[in-house]
Structure 1
Amino acid sequence: MLIRNRRRSECSHSEITPPEVYARRREFLRAGVGLGAGLALGGLGMALPASAALRGFPLEFEGSDYSTDESKTAYDEITSYNNFFEMGPGKSDPKTYADQLKTDPWTITVDGLCENPGEYAVEDFISPWSLEERIYRMRCVEGWSMVIPWIGFELNRIIEKAQPRGGARYVAFESIYDPDNLRGQRRRRGSSGGLEWPYTEGLRLDEAMHPLTILAVGLYDEVLPNQNGAPIRVVVPWKYGFKSIKSIQHIRFVEDQPPTLWNQAQSDEYGFYSNVNPDVDHPRWSQRTERRIGEFRRRRTEMFNGYADEVASLYEGMDLTRYI
């Protein structure tokens, strides 16, 4: 069963935004354009001001053909029940310690096997005129899910501008490393509860190029909250949520499959591909059903999280009980 709705949003968000807020936002955008015009990666377009300047201002976007028509999870639940181990292992830790994440200024390095490497401020990395709302269902391995209205743009736009070389087969991502401020990063691998920081993830190049894969900079018409991966994160809706790395600072094109944090920590539980497959149980629980946050009843888990029509062809010929 498909969980997407091939309709574009008919609602203009400028019509429901308070006029005085909307007008002030335009002033900020004009200021950002004046500072950042011509600096965007390979001509991506006009620049957003730094993430701190956007807080409290609605984001302008278009609807997306890929959005699900399922009921959205409430904003308070999306922003208060999170996995973000840099701030602690508890689901409420990210919101409690969100102020530990320093997002301004923020730079993103693009390098590796590509023709156009560079280092960019986040405001020069994204274009407000190409943002879309993508209402995606997101699945966590612990058996819970959410429906989140992300604001972002397709990752393939950055990849096309970077121009990967012929030997590039994977895209590797690296998150922020700041143990002085992020309490969860003070415990290293080998210590109790420690992980191999910084957080690393990776996608096959064709997965990263797929139009479902986006870089998100907001949700629910607002700039991305710290606990949800500010100022910019990856979203891959047909995979388990831990593949959608938060607060990215490094994108690298590589030939070999890159190491990833959870695969290094527990390779028998977290495979590199991590596609949602209800027929493959996690070693400690079943994946056949899930509970939507905010609901009590459980739902049947769908193959590829309901996006099989879009992405199944990427894995043709692969044993999806083995390559998990």
Structure 2
Amino acid sequence: MKLTWSDVTPEALFLNRRAFLAGMGIAAAAPALAATERLNSFEEITNYNNFYEFGFGKTDPAEHAGQLTTDPWAVEIGGLVDRPGNYSVADLAPENAVEERIYRLRCVEAWSMVIPWLGIPLASVLDRVGVQPSAKFVAFETVLRPEEMPAQRRRVMDWPYREALRLDEAMHPLTILATGLYGKPMPNQNGAPIRLVVPWKYGFKSIKSIVRITLTDTQPACTWQQMQPSEYGFYANVNPNVDHPRWSQATERRIGAGLLAGRQETLMFNGYGDQVAQMYAGMDLARDY
């Protein structure tokens, strides 16, 4: 069964005609969710998240991210591309090209949500800038603004935050650059004005507030992989069979489900295996975690 907006939480936003029409389109564009899976509310999504540049508590991003200036904003695209340059969010994601995608989000900390994103396929951006034949990876960087992002003033992490994908992962139709959620512009605490969303990977791969995208022929450095390589690998595919060294990944806690809901089984590739498993055929996913 594929979900439409009429199947999910009756937020007032769903009555908006644009959101409704986009939602009807997403039923055909994205993999189905189970009929029992409800969208998390806007309040849950925007008040329980990780954005360590604003603090390490789950509510710190909502409390502190309002000071981040998101307009104007430019994303520098360079490396092995034919048309490098600085692109505005409107250049990358014009309003008439934005789609709505309902995706599961699975955090490496073993909690999860279901989120209605607004965005565009990353592949469409890479096609526009012209990926050169020698490119094999796509690297991303978060903005570095310690004057607006208080945790960047402390050397608790190697700032700016960096992430990367293999080129085939970046070009996969499920991978999007998101500019909003719930029919609204992206809240600062969720990665405004533009972030990555890769739904079959743990959430830390979906880097927020992107200012740089670089195509390269060598595997780029990633922040968590560099800091704790025994715990966070380059691929970070959701895998219930490979535990984090400090906790099990076999089950997860759905945010907003209530104290009596219990935990639910984690799905391989976060439930997107039919679409993405072929990219990892022959790989040892316990080694290439």
Report if TM-score (shorter chain) is over 0.5.
Answer: yes
Q: Secondary structure at the match of 2:230?
A: coil
190, 195, 210: which one aligns with 1:228: 190
Q: 1:203 aligned to 2:165?
A: yes
The CA deviation string for residues 191-243 of structure 1, in whole angstroms up to 9 with x for no partner, is xxx11100100000000000000011110111110000000000000000000
Q: 1:155 aligned to 2:122?
A: yes
Q: 1:135 aligned to 2:102?
A: yes
User: Which residue of structure 2 aligns with residue 304 of structure 1?
Assistant: 269
Please give the residue correspondences for 1:115-194 in structure 2 after superposition, counting only pairs within 5 Å. Answer: 115-188=82-155, 194=156
Q: Secondary structure at the match of 2:118?
A: strand
User: Which residue of structure 1 aligns with residue 16 of structure 2?
Assistant: 17
Q: Alpha-carbon deviation of 1:71?
A: 0.7
Question: Which amino acid in structure 2 is aligned with residue 93 of structure 1?
Answer: D
CA contact 2:117–2:180 (8 Å) conserved in 1: yes
Count of residue pairs brought into register by the alignment: 276
Question: Which amino acid in structure 1 is aligned with residue 130 of structure 2?
Answer: Q
Distance between the aligned counterparts of 2:80 and 2:250, measured in 1?
39
Question: Which amino acid in structure 1 is aligned with residue 271 of structure 2?
Answer: G
Q: 1:87 aligned to 2:54?
A: yes
Q: Secondary structure at the match of 1:211?
A: coil
Q: Which structure: larger Rg?
A: 1
Q: Secondary structure at the match of 2:275?
A: helix
Question: Which amino acid in structure 2 is aligned with residue 229 of structure 1?
Answer: G
Question: Which amino acid in structure 1 is aligned with residue 179 of structure 2?
Answer: V
User: Which residue of structure 2 aligns with residue 66 of structure 1?
Assistant: 30
Q: 1:247 aligned to 2:217?
A: no
Q: Secondary structure at the match of 2:119?
A: strand
Distance between the aligned counterparts of 1:150 and 1:15, measured in 2?
13
TM-score normalised by structure 2 residue count: 0.90
The CA deviation string for residues 254-275 of structure 1, in whole angstroms up to 9 with x for no partner, is 0100001111111111000000
Question: Which amino acid in structure 1 is aligned with residue 30 of structure 2?
Answer: Y
Question: Which amino acid in structure 1 is aligned with residue 216 of structure 2?
Answer: V
Question: Which amino acid in structure 1 is aligned with residue 242 of structure 2?
Answer: V
Q: Secondary structure at the match of 1:304?
A: helix
User: Which residue of structure 1 aligns with residue 281 of structure 2?
Assistant: 316
Distance between the aligned counterparts of 1:320 and 1:268, measured in 2?
14
- Which aligned runs of 4 or more in structure 1 are off by greater than 4 angstroms? 5-11
Question: Which amino acid in structure 1 is aligned with residue 287 of structure 2?
Answer: R
Q: Alpha-carbon deviation of 1:147?
A: 0.3
Q: 1:268 aligned to 2:209?
A: no
Identity %: 53
Cα pair distance change 1:15/1:312, threshold 3 Å:
closer
253, 274, 288: which one aligns with 1:291: 253
Distance between the aligned counterparts of 1:114 and 1:231, measured in 2?
23
Q: 5+ residue gaps in structure 1? A: 23-57, 189-193
CA contact 1:112–1:254 (8 Å) conserved in 2: yes
RMSD across aligned C-alpha pairs, in angstroms?
A: 2.1
Distance between the aligned counterparts of 1:81 and 1:254, measured in 2?
34
CA contact 2:39–2:114 (8 Å) conserved in 1: yes
Cα pair distance change 1:16/1:300, threshold 3 Å:
closer
Q: Alpha-carbon deviation of 1:159?
A: 0.8
The CA deviation string for residues 141-160 of structure 1, in whole angstroms up to 9 with x for no partner, is 11100000001110000011
Cα pair distance change 1:158/1:288, threshold 3 Å:
same
TM-score normalised by structure 1 residue count: 0.81
Q: Secondary structure at the match of 1:97?
A: helix
CA contact 1:61–1:129 (8 Å) conserved in 2: no
Q: Secondary structure at the match of 1:203?
A: strand
Q: Secondary structure at the match of 1:253?
A: strand
Question: Which amino acid in structure 2 is aligned with residue 302 of structure 1?
Answer: L
Q: Alpha-carbon deviation of 1:125?
A: 2.0
Question: Which amino acid in structure 2 is aligned with residue 238 of structure 1?
Answer: W
The answer to which of 112-121 and 122-131 deviates more is 122-131
